[in-house]
Structure 1
C-alpha cells in the first residue's frame, strides 16, 4: 500500500468509526476484482478512488432522496462478501443468494469471478453476513461458475453477471440456511430498490435505497452518493418483504465501466433474456 493509499484508508476507517458511534451514515461502492484506472475495484485493502478530503467530509452529510444505512439488516444475511480461500484476507466483491431448484445458487458480477484473459478465478468463497471478521453463517466455497460466452470472449458489459453454485455445509444447502431472493427478469428500468454490499475498506455491509433509471437499453443505473470501491456484485433488490426479508433481485453492481468510475453512480447489466438464459444454464 502506498503512503497515499494508507492515508486514505485511515481516513475512510475514521469515518466508519464516527458512523459506528452514532454519526451520519456513509457508503462505499462499485468494486471490481481486478484494479483498473476506470473501474472501482478493491482487490487491495483500501481503494482510494473518489476519497478526497472533500468527499470524506461530504460522506457525513445525508443527501435528500437517498436512504443509506450503515447496518445493512434488510437482507437478513442473504448478502455476503467474496474472498479468496477464506475470510482471513481481503474481500473484494459481493454476492447474494438467489432462488434455485438446487437451493445452492448465488449471483454476483461476472468480473468478480471470471477474467476474460485468464478464465475462472479459483479458490473463491462466499461469506454471508460477514461482519468484523465474524462468519455467522459459514464460509461457502464456489464450485461451478456460469458466465455468458460474450463475457468470456470480450468482457461484454451487457452480461456482467454470474451465477455460482456453492458447496453445501454440514449437509445443508445455502438456501436452506438463509433463504433466497427471487430472480427478476424484464422488470423495466424504473424500480425502487435497495442495494446492499461490502465496501473494500470496511468489514460491515452498507445499504443504499433509491429508484433505478435507464442508462441504455441494456444497462441500469442508480445514484448512491459516495459509493467507492469494493462492492461489485451487490444485489439490487425490489419488492422487499419485511416478513420474509427477501425480495426480487433485478440487477447487480457491474456492467458499464464494471459498475462505474464515479463514486456517486453505479450501474448494472439489464436483467433480460440473456440473464434468464444464463440462469437457466446455471440451474439446468
Structure 2
C-alpha cells in the first residue's frame, strides 16, 4: 500500500467461482471514454525461464515490499485529477473474523486462502513484492493486482511471479510465471492514482492452468460505493512480516479528498498493495466479488486504506487480460 503527500499536507503513497465462472458486470460496459487500450508487456521465453528459477525461498523471504523500497528513496510526485493542480508525492506503502476488522490474520479458510497470494518481481535491479488474486477468466490464468505492482516510475517489473497461498518462503501451489503484464492506459501514461490497477497472465504449470489448481474469485464492475467490504493482502512492512494472509473488513465509503476511490478502515502496510477487495464476501466459503485492490493511504489517516473503483477502465483491462 502506498502513502501520499500533498502540498497542503502529508498524504501517503460470487461468490467466487472456480475456473469457468461468471463476471458480475453490474451495469452496461462501454469502452473507456478516451478510447485508449490497456498497456501490455510480453515477457520473452528467456525471461520466463529465468523467473522460474530465480525465486528461491531465500529470495522470496528477502524481497522488500515495493512500497517500502520507494518510501526509502522518496518517490517522485504525480498529480491526481481532484488535486486542483497540487502535486502528490507517492510513497507506496500498504479467527473468522468479527465484522468489522481493522487488520488481522485470516483464519477462516475457504477459497480466499488459495486465490490470494504474494507477487514477486525485480524492480530496477532489486527484488520486491506485492499481493495479488486469481480471478475467473477465459484463459483461466489471470491475476489482478495494483498498477504499481506491474509498472512503476516508467519501468515494467521483470522476473514476475505469483505465489498463491504463500507460506513463509514456501509455495504450496507453485510459482506462476507471468507471460504478460498489463495496466490501465491512465496508469501507463501518468500513474493516475484513480486507475492504479494491474493484471498478469501466467503460464501453465505442470500442464495445468492457474485457476484449475487454486480456484478463482468473481469480479464486479460499476457496482457503486458504500458497501460492506473485505480486503486481503500480505503486508510485509512493520508490524507485519509478509508471512500471513491479513484481512480488514467493514463498511466502505468513497474518498472525499483527492481520488474517486473506495475507502476502508485498515492498518495493512507495504506489501499488501494489489491484494483484493471483495463485496458480498462469505466468510464460510471465503468467496466474494472482487471490486478493487489495495492501493494507497494518506499519512494523516494512517489506519485507512484506499482502492481504485472498478469501472469501465478496469473492465477493459480485465477483458484484455483474460483473452491474452
Normalised TM-score (structure 1) = 0.72
Listed as ranges, the gaps of 5+ residues in structure 2 are: 1-64, 75-89
Deviations 1:224-250 (A, max 9, x none): 1x3222210010012224565321001
Residues 101 and 247 in structure 2, CA contact (< 8 A), matched pair in contact too: no
Over 3 Å counting, the alpha-carbon distance change for 1:259 and 1:79 in structure 2 is farther
Deviations 1:10-44 (A, max 9, x none): xxxxxxxxxxxxxxxxxxxx9637513452438xx
1:129: Cα distance to partner? Answer: 0.3
Q: Within 5 Å, give how 1:41-80 maps onto structure 2.
A: 41=93, 65-66=100-101, 68-72=103-107, 73-74=109-110, 75-80=112-117
Q: Within 5 Å, give how 1:77-156 maps onto structure 2.
A: 77-84=114-121, 92-118=129-155, 120-156=156-192
Over 3 Å counting, the alpha-carbon distance change for 1:259 and 1:81 in structure 2 is farther
The equivalent of 2:303 in structure 1 is 264
Q: Within 5 Å, give how 1:128-207 maps onto structure 2.
A: 128-200=164-236, 201-207=241-247
- Secondary structure of the structure 2 residue equivalent to 1:150: helix
- Whole-Å Cα distance in 2 between the matches of residues 33 and 270 of structure 1? 24
- Whole-Å Cα distance in 2 between the matches of residues 33 and 82 of structure 1? 15
Higher strand share: 2
1:223 aligned to 2:268?
no
- Whole-Å Cα distance in 1 between the matches of residues 278 and 215 of structure 2? 14
- Whole-Å Cα distance in 2 between the matches of residues 114 and 107 of structure 1? 13
- Whole-Å Cα distance in 1 between the matches of residues 69 and 221 of structure 2? 28
Q: How many residues align?
A: 228
The equivalent of 1:20 in structure 2 is none
Residues 103 and 268 in structure 2, CA contact (< 8 A), matched pair in contact too: no
- Whole-Å Cα distance in 2 between the matches of residues 101 and 39 of structure 1? 35
Residue of structure 2 aligned with 1:238, choices 255, 274, 279:
279
- Whole-Å Cα distance in 2 between the matches of residues 171 and 83 of structure 1? 22
Residues 251 and 270 in structure 1, CA contact (< 8 A), matched pair in contact too: yes
Deviations 1:176-217 (A, max 9, x none): 011111111111111112111111123111111111110157
Residues 39 and 259 in structure 1, CA contact (< 8 A), matched pair in contact too: no
Residues 141 and 167 in structure 1, CA contact (< 8 A), matched pair in contact too: yes
- Secondary structure of the structure 1 residue equivalent to 2:189: helix
